Amino acid sequence: MIRDIRTFNDLMQVCLQKQKTIYEVFEQREASLQEISVEEVRVRVKKSLDAMKDAIKKGLVSNEKSISNQCGDDCMRLKERFQNSGAIFGKSFEKISTYALATIEENLRMGKIVACPTAGSCGIVPSILVGISEEYNFDEETQINALITAGAIATIISYKMALAGAVAGCQAECGVACAMSAGILTQMFGGNIEQILNAVALSLKNIMGLTCDPVAGLVEIPCVKRNPFLAVNAVTAYELAISDVKSKIPVDEVVDAMVQTGELMSPLLKESSQAGLAKTKTALEIEENLKNSIRR
């Protein structure tokens, strides 16, 4: 029975002792905790994977605006641009960026998405997992394995820090999704446990301190565009880690630093919309226009 895994060091030790991958350890652990079979765990993960793919599919063909009328058509703009002139970084970049926007915009339309780990960061993991799997022909079993690994990463971080912008800023939402995605990539391309955890550490270090300052209190500006940006950040973390570039600060200590950073962050910058981008001149105009439209 595998139950007591609370840190990344615990995870590494169990993986090494049992000569198992992260997903093998965690699917067994989840089966034990839920009192179900490993097969049932994988069936549930597949449902999430299918929901991610469906959200991307729907998001790619819609330019319906959100209720606020502020967001919803950026994915279509990007698609049209790539059709006329390809991205500098190639087809993989095109899929990652458009799939991230497609998913988060589908969320704005109240469509069905997978909160991974949250709704405001829902485009990052699917864009990496689905987009790269399509480009490199990773089969469904590999995708399920990678998604279980991503879940393990988020679970361990959540033991120390609530995955919510209101608690620790956007580093706890888009930041954690980025770490999950870096782990996904490193595993799918054959990285070992040490490389996967280095990818997690490297990705988190780069976005530490990211605030949550949504305009007008909506999960739209700047949330939507952060999804494709941090999906690309995950790719950079993977490229470094798979090349054996190591984080000088161990991943558990990086998470500790994130917790401390979240505690020191002003409450005004933690989803309250009382500072940062939310109080810029343009943001205040947007907020006032929305209020006026509601009064009508």
Q: What is the DSSP letter of 243?
A: T
Determine the topology of domain 8-295 in CATH: 2-methylcitrate dehydratase PrpD (1.10.4100)
Please report how the helices 193-207 and 223-242 are oriented relative to each other, as an axis angle in degrees rounded to 10: 140
**Two tokens, residue 164:** 């919510």
Q: Is the peptide bond before 222 cis (omega within 30 degrees of 0)?
A: yes
Q: What are the residues facing 212 on neighbouring strands?
A: 270
Cα of 249 vs its chain's centroid, Å: 22
Instruction: Confirm if 118 and 173 have CB atoms less than 8 A apart.
Output: yes
CA–CA separation, 173 vs 122, rounded Å? 9
Q: What are the residues facing 270 on neighbouring strands?
A: 212
pTM value is: 0.96
Query: 161: Cβ–Cβ under 8 A, 6 or more apart, which residues?
Result: 167, 168, 172, 255, 258, 259, 262
How wide is the angle at C-alpha 232 spanned by C-alphas 181 and 276, nearest 5°?
100
User: Phi and psi of 212, rounded to 5°?
Assistant: -115, 105
Instruction: Confirm if 59 and 101 have CB atoms less than 8 A apart.
Output: yes
Nearest to 198 by CA among 210, 209, 186, 190: 186
CA–CA separation, 197 vs 106, rounded Å? 31
For the chain, residues with pLDDT lower than 50 are: none
User: pLDDT at position 67, please?
Assistant: 85
User: pLDDT at position 2, please?
Assistant: 61
User: pLDDT at position 294, please?
Assistant: 78
User: pLDDT at position 12, please?
Assistant: 97
CA–CA separation, 154 vs 104, rounded Å? 19
SS3 219: coil
User: pLDDT at position 296, please?
Assistant: 65
User: pLDDT at position 4, please?
Assistant: 81
User: pLDDT at position 236, please?
Assistant: 98
CA–CA separation, 27 vs 20, rounded Å? 11
DSSP sequence for 128-189: HHHHHHHHHT--HHHHHHHHHHHHHHHHHHHTTS-S-HHHH-GGGTHHHHHHHHHHHHHHHT
